[in-house]
Amino acid sequence: MRLGRRVPRWTRETLRTTVPRVRALPLAIVLLVSACNAGGARFNTQTAASFVPARHSVSVLGIYKDGRMTIDTWDKLAPHLVPALGSSPCEVGFDSLVRSNQELANAVDDRSRAEGPTGSLLAQLAPAARGDLLLVVTLAGRLPQHQGQGEPPEGAPVPNGMTTQRKRRHQAQNSAGGAPDPNRLEVSAALFSVPEHRSVALVSMSYGGQDADDAMTRFGAELAQVMPNSTCAGWNWDFKIDPASLRAPVAE
């Protein structure tokens, strides 16, 4: 952990002032598998032409929400993903990284805030994955909630003050009205193949109903069709990854 820096905690003010966004990972070659609308939920599944739905070992990097990687959020989502990942607890890579290697966690946070959880970022983290697939879940928007529900996740990496031109451009674009409808739930699961060094699948859902639990359960079922009977594989953060190599370049 950086000397002299404390790990800040999420606050409701932070969540109100951060614009949600969904960044889809680029797929080299994609084949539309399904696009359907059921019970207020619209699903769209894309896979690379060479990708065959099968059992995989999956390293979960974490959840990207409100324009950055979050921590302590996975446990709320995991019960809905049992059809895809099984019932065993999953090690969430970003959560464990925040607790074990703050410098690298900061670099991942900086890069994802500047560009989103892109395939190029996942390619640099892939050597530390124990699984053959990396999984990142992106969330944006929310359903109307009763008072007392939906407490914000706690904890976040240390901001390092490196505000690049790229970040300022994204902030300007978001403030110009690019945020999604806050009363809709937008969810996507991006899969990156470690052996192939590229993104291979994207499962997304847009939901405007009132039962988020039911929608997320159906999302888990959609994901299970892409990687049936898969299991969590965890991470090996002893593998040396240079934090400096993850820093997003400054746009000209």
pLDDT at 208: 85
Q: Is residue 173 part of a domain?
A: no
pLDDT at 142: 64
pLDDT at 159: 45
In SS3 terms, 150-173 reads as CCCCCCCCCCCCCCCHHHHHHHHH
pLDDT at 24: 41
Question: What is the pTM assigned to this prediction?
Answer: 0.72
Q: Is residue 1 part of a domain?
A: no
Distance of CA 224 to the CA centre of its chain: 17
- DSSP result, 33-76: EEEEEETTEEEEEEEETT------EEEEEEEEETTEEESS-HHH
Distance of CA 121 to the CA centre of its chain: 12
Q: Is residue 11 part of a domain?
A: no
pLDDT at 36: 53
Best CA proximity match to 137, nearest among 37, 235, 24, 19 = 24
Using CA atoms, how far apart are residues 214 and 185, in angstroms rounded to an integer? Answer: 12
Q: Is residue 71 part of a domain?
A: yes
Q: Is residue 251 part of a domain?
A: no
Is residue 180 within 8 A of residue 163, CB to CB? The reply is: no
Helix axes 165-173, 102-115, angle to 10 degrees: 50
Using CA atoms, how far apart are residues 157 and 24, in angstroms rounded to an integer? Answer: 23
Give the torsion through C-alpha atoms of 59, 242, 248, 252, to 10 deg: -150
Domain count, the chain: 1
pLDDT tens-digit profile, the chain (252 residues): 343 433 333 233 332 333 333 334 444 434 444 445 556 789 999 999 989 888 999 999 999 998 899 988 898 889 999 999 998 889 999 999 999 999 999 999 999 999 999 999 999 999 999 999 999 999 987 643 433 444 444 444 544 443 344 444 444 444 344 555 556 889 999 999 999 999 999 999 999 888 888 899 999 999 999 999 899 999 999 888 999 988 755 444
Using CA atoms, how far apart are residues 248 and 66, in angstroms rounded to an integer? Answer: 19
Give the torsion through C-alpha atoms of 116, 117, 118, 119, to 10 deg: 180
Phi (first) and psi of residue 11, to 5 degrees: -130, 165
Q: For residue range 204-240, what is the model confidence (pLDDT) as tens digits? A: 999 988 888 889 999 999 999 999 989 999 999 988 8
Q: Is residue 12 part of a domain?
A: no
Question: Which structural domain range is residue 84 located in?
Answer: 22-144+153-158+182-193+202-236
Residue type, 18: T
Using CA atoms, how far apart are residues 151 and 154, in angstroms rounded to an integer? Answer: 9
